[in-house]
Amino acid sequence: MRQPKAQIALPIFLALVLGLGGAQTALAQTPAAGMTQVALIPIHCVNQTVTPNCLHDWTTSGATQASTDIFSFDFATNTMYFADRVNQGITVIDTRNNKYLGTIPVPSCNVAGAIPGSCPSGVQVVHDQRKLIVTDRNTSVSGTTIHLKGIFIYDLKIPNSAPVQLTINTTGTDTDELDYDPVNRRAYVANTACPCVLTVVDVVTDTIVDTIPLPSNPEQPRFNPVDGKIYITIPDDSTIATGGSADGVYVVDPTKTGAAALSKFISAPTGCAVRGIDIDPVTNTGVIGCAAPAAQFLLDFNTATIPTSFPGVTGTDTLQFNPNLRRWYTGSSNNIVSADSCPALGGVTPVIGVFAAAAKASKKTPFARLVGADCSGVNAHGLGVDTIANQVYVGARQFPAASGGTPGVLVYEDTSPLVQPKLKESSNIKLEPLASPPTTGRVLIEEGFIIDATVSGVPSGTPTVLVVTTTAGNEVVPCDVSSGNATCFRVLRGQALLGGNIFVSTAGTLQAKATIK
């Protein structure tokens, strides 16, 4: 994920970019979001037993200054994984006690003489396969940048096992961000040194199965649990830092291959250099991150329109959605808007922006609102969310951002009300077929967590699963198939999310769908 240096723009320019006028030309201070700081976890090497594969303590400057990128949460084990460039691997945090457990080495990053470049970069937990996918982007050895094109797949069921290594099929390099589609059990991996493509990896067989050409330098791919498609933010290469006419979101159809998979383009507002993206499955809307100085904006995927923007937070890189609270969180390390009690350094005020999805949207009530922004740290652009304990994690080079701060993983707890504080005793939902011949059936949900489904019209011997939107994330329910019928049972980690969806996937293809009620 790229991180341009923040540029301090003229107030008139800011007013135009942010859509402000008159008395709002001087930006009002953004209020605090109200989260509670619970930890600043030091990344400190004790010994190879206590903190295995730790190479260096994090510092605020020099060759070992804290440098992170993508975070990914494993809700099955309460574990946060993130790209730790100082230690040349994936650092692991136990989110139950917020302790540093050690680092998983990434072979292409962990080489003699290497200093933190952008290796590793992307990280993705694949819950149903119990795997971890990592990308390496680039590293620096003896002052020379080495561009990489690796994808590493670790088996989380076998600790300390060597990863499967894949190489993308393009002359381009710098594998970066990615996401996982639980319907077809494939990961979509972007590379940022063009020719740029979306590399499609079958996570069951650990093989590359497709390459989708992209028009420009990509940012974040994101699976949408409403329509089963992939949405990817792609900046305008000619105006990377400031946003241009080619900035926007591309829609990828997983049922197609190659160039035919790019099915639609949605333009970003003028001045937004697009970055992170994540989706609320209840309203089918997403917050899109923009680099400084542009406002973040909300995209309605139902209509491909932009209902509102949020000038109170700028300078975002990554962002994530928590379905347990129906809130988005942004790693806005280059924010240039004053935030309540947050120190500025070098012309920026690093914050975590917090945005709430509406309980019920209408013409008078927008799909989402800015709750506020809480203080973050220097270079804290990578962000992860524990969707069980409702904790937010960012890697900070220095916190507080003002002089005198220390490095570490900053942890906030969001204590706002759960979207489903009470269990729904029982729900019996009818599946609607999406293909012919029709796949039909019913899904019984008991106490919010127990899935018990019967599905008809399934070819014998065909791998079949349910993909369920829950308060923890997208969860997969296995099915047993016999004589054209499937029975599917699992106790979920999160509650089935009311207003979310259940997909029936047969051999990686959507066959039926239901809305959770």
- Give residues with Cβ within 8 angstroms of 265, minimum separation 6: 248, 249, 250, 251
Distances (CA, A) of 435 to 170, 255, 439, 463, 504: 34, 13, 7, 17, 11
pLDDT of residue 3: 56
Closest to 138 measured CA to CA, from 213, 205, 67: 67
Kindly state the tokens that stand for 123.
């990280």
Q: How far apart are the first and last CA of the chain?
A: 37
Task: State the Cα angle at 161 between 155 and 162, rounded to 5°.
Answer: 95
E strand or H helix that includes residue 18: helix 11-18
Kindly state the tokens that stand for 269.
């507002």
210-260 tens-digit pLDDT: 999 999 999 999 999 999 999 999 998 777 777 888 999 999 999 999 999
Q: Do residues 41 and 318 lie in contact, with contact meaning Cβ atoms separated by under 8 Å?
A: no
- Give residues with Cβ within 8 angstroms of 403, minimum separation 6: 345
Q: Which residue has the tokens 């991180």?
A: 3
What is the separation of C-alpha 315 from the centre of its chain, rounded to a whole number of angstroms?
Answer: 17
Closest to 149 measured CA to CA, from 133, 117, 116, 172: 172
pLDDT of residue 74: 99
3 state DSSP class of 207: strand
Closest to 247 measured CA to CA, from 224, 279, 275, 277: 275
The whole-model pTM stands at: 0.94
Strand arrangement, sheet containing 114-115: 114-115, 138-141, 144-147
State residue 79 phi and psi, 5-degree precision.
-125, 135
Select 426-515's CATH number: 2.60.40, 2.30.30, 1.10.3470, 3.30.60. 2.60.40
Q: Which residue has the tokens 């457990």?
A: 101
pLDDT of residue 9: 37
The amino acid at residue 138 is: N
Please state, in angstroms and rounded to a whole number, the distance separating the CA atoms of residues 492 and 53: 33
- Which CATH class for the 11-413 domain? mainly beta
Domain with CATH 2.60.40 in the chain: 426-515
pLDDT tens, per residue, the chain with 517 residues: 665 434 333 333 333 334 333 223 345 899 999 999 999 999 999 999 999 999 999 999 999 999 999 999 999 999 999 999 999 999 999 999 999 999 999 999 988 888 878 999 999 999 999 999 999 999 988 889 999 999 999 999 999 999 999 999 999 999 999 999 999 999 999 999 999 999 999 999 999 999 999 999 999 999 999 999 999 999 987 777 778 889 999 999 999 999 999 999 999 999 999 999 999 999 999 999 999 899 999 999 999 999 999 999 999 999 999 999 999 999 999 999 999 999 999 999 999 999 999 987 666 677 899 999 999 999 999 999 999 999 999 999 999 999 889 999 999 999 999 999 999 899 999 999 999 999 999 999 999 999 999 999 998 889 999 999 999 999 999 999 999 999 999 999 999 999 999 999 999 999 999 999 9
Q: Do residues 84 and 56 lie in contact, with contact meaning Cβ atoms separated by under 8 Å?
A: no
Domain with CATH 2.130.10.10 in the chain: 11-413
Q: Which residues of 413-435 are buried (b: 16+ CB within 10 A; e: fewer)?
A: ebebeebbeeeeeeeebebebee
pLDDT of residue 363: 63
Kindly state the tokens that stand for 277.
């993206």
